[in-house]
Structures are given as C-alpha cells and as structure tokens.
Structure 1
Amino acid sequence: MITGLKASLEYAKELDKKDKISYYRNQFHIPKDKDGKDWIYMCGNSLGLQPKTTQQYIQQELNDWANFGVEGHFEAKNPWMPYHEFLTDAMAKVVGANPLEVVIMNTLTTNLHLLMVSFYQPTKTKYKIVIESDAFPSDRYAVESQLHFHGFDPKEGLIEWKPRKGEELLHIDDLEEILDHQGDEIALLLIGGLNYYTGQYLDIKKIADLGHAKECMVGIDLAHGVGNIQPKLHDSGVDFAAWCTYKYLNSGPGSLGGLFVHEKHAYNKDLKRFAGWWSHNKKTRFNMRQEFDVMPGAEGYQLSNPPILSMAAIKASLDIFNEVGMDTLRKKSIALTGYFEFLIHQIDTDRIKIITPDNPEERGCQLSIQVKNADKSLHQKLTDHHIITDWREPDVIRCAPTPLYNSFEDVFKMTEVLKTVL
C-alpha cells in the first residue's frame, strides 16, 4: 500500500491538482442529479461513460450517409469500406499487440465462438476445457455449448480452476497442478484475464506458458481487462483473446467487441474457421466469383461489413486512449485505486472487506467490497446518495474508479458516504 496518504477532502483535492490528466474528466458526460450536481460514477467496469466527442463522430457518419448514400463507402470523410482499419493501431496499443493481430468486429461471445472454431480442436482423448470456477456466465455457457457441439458431456469435459477452501482468489500453482495431472486430456484453457467478481488480474504469460507446455491452446477473455490493465498480448504468447469495448473503452451499450490472434497463427490458412466475405482478400473481395482467399491475421476472422455507427463511437474513445496512452492511464489507476483502498481500510467496521488483491500488479482499477451478512440494501443506499456502483450476487459491491474520468475527490466522497450508510 502507498504510504503517507491522508484521509481528508483537502488532501484528495491536492492529489487532483497534481494529476496531469485530470482535465480529461471534462471530456466525458457525467450523470447528474436534478440540481445539476455530478453523481459519483464508479461503474466503468460495467458501462463506461460517453465521451463528449462521440456525438460528433457519429453525426459525421450520419451526414455522410445523407450526402453520399452508398458512395459513402468511398467518398465519406472516413470511408466506410476500410473503416475498421482506422481503429486497429490504437486498439493494438491498448492490448499490447501488433496491428496484424487485432481487429474490431462482432461482440464478445460471438468472437469467442469464432475463435474456438480454430483453436478448440478436440480429439477423443484430448478434449477438455479449463475455465476459472467463477468465470463470467457467458464464458461458461459458450464453452459448455462447444463441448456439446463436439459430442462431449460438459460434466466430464469442463474443468474448473477453483480458489482454495475459504479463499476468493486463484493460485497459479493450482492451475499448474491441474495441468500436471490432466494436461494430456486438456485441449484448451479459456481464462478471464481479469476476474469480473474479485477484480483479480491473472498472470497471462504464465498461464500461456503452462498451457503450451502441455500442448494446450490458450485463450483469454479480456472483457474486464481491456482499457484497464496492460495485458501485453503479443509478448504473453497466448493464442487468442477477445473483449468488449463498452466497459473501460467507453464505446456505448452493446457496442462491438475485438479479438486478437497471435502472429504465429497469422499465415496458417489451414486453420479451421467460419468464413465470410469480409475475411476474403481485399483485392478480389468484390469479384464475386473468386474462390475463398483468407486474409492473414485477425482480419481473416471477419464475416461481414462492419456497423459504421458503432465503430464511430469506438473511434471517438480510442482517439482519447491514443492521445493519453496506457502507460499514463495505468500509472494514475494504480495511484487512484491505492488511495481508494487506503480510505476503505480507514473505515472502522467488520461488515466489509476488500477481496481484490492488495498488490497493484494483480488488479486493475476495480475493488470488490465483500459485505458480511449481505443483502443488496447497502448498494441501494449508495445509489440513493447518487453513487453508482455495481452489485454482484451473492455479496459484493464492485467499485471501479476509472482514471480517465474519476478523481481522488470522487473516491474520498464515496468512502465518506460508505461510512455513513454503514
């Protein structure tokens, strides 16, 4: 924990004055009460706030649609035909990848299924899939359905990496033990890089190394990690990853997701895949009578022409990320979350505890506060005080002070209210 911190409003305001990126808060729409006062918004882990530029970016495409019709594919200010390419470099920087390895397309679970077509290739003896026991439900549903599709019983084919008895967090040694005992039967590891419930950030490179040592494919769900931590996907060596963009990437509800396919697979045309015309060679895509010629890299997983209005919202956000840089955001995130942790520890009660790891390298900006003898009333009381957090059954309030738009004053005021309602 950071030392020398003080639990006072004056100190929090002083930290905000020293924050070199505090002015980015003014670039976002903050929810307000009826008197026009900002709510304290700590729910970027569920839905990020809207950049003020988003409307302008979308309006540009609406104007070009109105003015050009179908010719907007070529004549728009940002031509629609290659629009996804305008997002690639910035997205690659956020996740630590090469541009060849990244594409924005579809939504998270759709992308996971498309990726498992290539990277889940079970045999009669090597068919099992490892997930973390408290994986986000959609991941569990996805892998169970993949097992079913290939003719396996999920009760036999699904292996859960579990916390130890009486604990909430995962130990990498326990995953290693699973692989030592059952590695010959495991085809795929599909792990959430940052757990949605506890906020634990797992060692992605270590997971990849352990899986590959047993000739398993390794995929990562980065839904709660992208724009929050620096996963360094290329260097990690994972085979694939997928994520959404509406949380920390602030692209709007239900917006498109993204995927990563490691460069080592980029030119393997023999990989099984579900194809569409947008994965076909750009040079001959519109010659309708050509045999399928898959593009290299992540672009080769596209199916259809992209929804431009969603991509415009993503571009608005990624332009901000590209301007600020993940190194700067991560540095502030560690300081902001560290101050939040310090303040929560100052509250004299045994009713709550933080279950997210203490080590900043093992978490993002989310702190998960476990409530003893819980019901949802404490979360509701925070909401009544215009503090937006996220309740997850059975007993956790998830709070995510996000470095782009949250302040040190936010976390101080939030903990003062938390004291009061406790």
Structure 2
Amino acid sequence: MGTLTANLHAMMAAFYRPTAERFKIIIEAKAFPSDHYAVTSQIQLHGYDPSVCLVTIAPRQGEATLRTEDIIEAIQKDDAIALVLLSGVQYYTGQFFEMEKITKAGHDQGCVVGWDLAHAVGNVPLKLHDWQVDFACWCTYKYLNSGPGNIAGVFVHENHFNDKKRPRLAGWWGNDKTNRFDMAPLFRPSEGASGYQISNPSVINVASLMGSLELFESATMPKLREKSLRLTAYLEYLLITKLQKKHMEAGHFEILTPSNPEERGCQLSLDFPEKMLTIFDALQSRGVVCDERKPTVIRIAPTPLYNTYTDVYYCVSYLEEILDQVFA
C-alpha cells in the first residue's frame, strides 16, 4: 500500500495517540530526513510542541553507531515516551539494530514500537511477528528492486487485528473485501494490515514489484543472507588488506558500519573526510554504481541477488587506484 512516508503517517495516525502522560516520540538523531518531517508534523497535528515531544538519540562522542544499551536507556528513563520509531538498518551508517531487544524494551516501558524498514527489507532477516513489533513500514525500491516511488508496504502485528476502536485513516481499499461493493457509508475494516489500506494501487507498480518478489521467493532470504554475509565480509577484507596502511591509517577514509556481521546488512558506509564527491564521481566513471550521502559518506552495497565477488574485487581495486591519484 501507498509509499513509505505516506504509510508512516497512516501508521502514526493509528498508533501515535498522545495523552497528558505519554506524548513523546523517540527517533534517531540522524534518522532519514523524511522520518523527521513525518514525526514532527504528527506531533504538531496533535497540538504538541516538537521541541518538547521529539526525543532524538545519537551515538556517543567519537563513535559512529548507536549502542543498544544506550537506546534502551533512553527509552527506560523517560515515562512520557508514547512511541519508539527507529530504522531497522540505519541509512547513513548501515547499522542493523537489535530490533527484538529494543522492541521488548519499549513494550516493557509501555510504549508502542514501530520500525522504518526502508533499508532492511530484502536486505536482512526480519521476524516482525516473533519480535512482537507493533507496526512497520518500508519502501520497495531499494533492495526489492521495484523502482523509485513504487508501491510500499506495512506490517501490523496480529495483536492489533481486532482493535476496532483504534482510529485509522480509512479508505476504500481497507474496507472488508466481502462487502466493499455494498457501497455502504460505514467503514468496516478488513482484518489485519489490509484494514489499514487506503486507496487501490497501480497495477503497473504491483506488477513490477511482483517480478522482483518472484526472484526473492526462488532464491530465498536465508540463502541470500548467507551470500550477503560472505560478500560483505570479502568487501571489508579487501578494504582492510589493500587500503588500510596507505589510506585508512592516513585518515583518508574509515568504515562506519559495524564490523560484526550480525549488526549489518550488505552495506558498508565509507566516510571520506575530504574529497568525497571527487572519489564518488571517479568510481561512477569506472562503472561502480554506489551512492553518496552528504556530507562525507559513500555507501557501497554488494547486493547478493545480482552482485558477485568479482564485482567486489574490481570495486576495491578501482577505489585503491582513485585514492592513490587523489592523495598522491
């Protein structure tokens, strides 16, 4: 249903219900900008002040990624938090959060816990039902290959399936399928996440996503994850063995993404304090398709569905060649 940010709004309309006692939302300080926009506007729509209600968590001084214990501490120390809304995989650093532990900590504190899985779906194993996640949203144009702006998705835990009193943004496509064409003015939601749908999707969008999902079904996520772990480990190994002495120790770049394979997907974020765009353009000119995130990060993601070990080898070889020229 919908698109990612629209779905975040739809989920928050239902699951962010501030009260006099609980009215805050906790997110990452460096969450994707549209998440900041959506959360801020939801707080304002309820008549609250974002400077009071928006709680952001950042890594410790001198560290690039968030520690799970710091996230949990931030949740536990503030009884006014109504909603915990984090990203499964952090877009800038590539950190894969310990979703199960964080979700449990939020629930133990009486919070609703939702996740933005834009960079996690199709990338890392997800067990949203088993982890008791209240809701999640994702796009399909990153690892699911459906194209920018294509149809997105939501998850709503079955614990909420029969919660008929929870308000939601209602629409034609969310009405019970068995009586939709009765054309009654009273909204009767379908069971589960389907009851949160609003408008019918574009057939073209659905078809392009289906083409990708058929490949995922054939390949299976366990096998893709196994290859992803090996590809990313190979990328990390080459970066360290080929570039550490000449360039990493010289401060030309560092790897922001955690080295623990369980704390990352297939993305490694490389931080270049100087000349990031020059390096990025040089990689692109050599046929290395990656992306940049200002101010200083290049994200390299050897995607297991279509990337090879040879791709990884050439990527690092080209990067070495470029760095040798830039920092000659």
Shift of 1:338: 0.4
The answer as to 2:189 corresponding to 1:294 is yes
Q: Aligned pairs, how many?
A: 317
CA distance in 2, matches of 1:232, 1:148: 32
Aligned positions of 1:213-232 closer than 5 A: 213-232=108-127
CA distance in 2, matches of 1:294, 1:383: 48
Structure 2 regions of 5+ residues with no counterpart?
324-328
CA distance in 1, matches of 2:288, 2:175: 48
Of 192, 198, 205, the residue aligned with 1:310 is: 205
- Asked if the contact 2:24–2:83 (Cα under 8 Å) also holds between the matched residues in 1, the reply is yes
CA distance in 1, matches of 2:206, 2:13: 25
Aligned positions of 1:370-389 closer than 5 A: 370-389=271-290
1:261 aligns with: 156
Shift of 1:109: 0.5
Structure 1 regions of 5+ residues with no counterpart?
1-104
CA-based RMSD of the aligned residues comes to 1.0
State the TM-score, normalized to the length of structure 2.
0.95
Shift of 1:290: 5.6
Letter in 1 for 2:198: L
- Asked if the contact 1:243–1:258 (Cα under 8 Å) also holds between the matched residues in 2, the reply is yes
Q: Deviations for 1:87-130, whole angstroms, at most 9, x for unmatched residues?
A: xxxxxxxxxxxxxxxxxx10000011101111100012210000
2:71 aligns with: 175
Of 54, 77, 85, the residue aligned with 1:190 is: 85
Aligned positions of 1:267-416 closer than 5 A: 267-289=162-184, 291-346=186-241, 347=243, 348-349=246-247, 350=250, 351-416=252-317
Letter in 2 for 1:129: I
CA distance in 1, matches of 2:157, 2:285: 46
RCO (CA 8 Å, sep 6+): is it higher in 1 or 2? 1
Q: Deviations for 1:199-238, whole angstroms, at most 9, x for unmatched residues?
A: 0000111111111111100000000000000121111111
CA distance in 1, matches of 2:200, 2:273: 49
1:138 aligns with: 34
State the TM-score, normalized to the length of structure 1.
0.74
Secondary structure of the residue that 1:145 maps to in structure 2?
A: helix
Letter in 1 for 2:91: Y
- Asked if the contact 2:114–2:134 (Cα under 8 Å) also holds between the matched residues in 1, the reply is yes
The structure that has the greater radius of gyration is 1
The answer as to 2:21 corresponding to 1:125 is yes
Q: Deviations for 1:289-324, whole angstroms, at most 9, x for unmatched residues?
A: 363211110000111222111000011000110111
Secondary structure of the residue that 2:113 maps to in structure 1?
A: strand
Q: Deviations for 1:48-99, whole angstroms, at most 9, x for unmatched residues?
A: xxxxxxxxxxxxxxxxxxxxxxxxxxxxxxxxxxxxxxxxxxxxxxxxxxxx
Secondary structure of the residue that 1:225 maps to in structure 2?
A: coil
Instruction: Determine what percentage of the aligned residue pairs are the same residue.
Output: 48
CA distance in 2, matches of 1:111, 1:372: 35
2:326 aligns with: none
CA distance in 2, matches of 1:181, 1:327: 37
CA distance in 1, matches of 2:94, 2:275: 19
Letter in 2 for 1:345: I
Q: Deviations for 1:10-31, whole angstroms, at most 9, x for unmatched residues?
A: xxxxxxxxxxxxxxxxxxxxxx
Secondary structure of the residue that 1:233 maps to in structure 2?
A: coil
Secondary structure of the residue that 1:368 maps to in structure 2?
A: strand
Secondary structure of the residue that 1:235 maps to in structure 2?
A: coil
Secondary structure of the residue that 2:19 maps to in structure 1?
A: coil
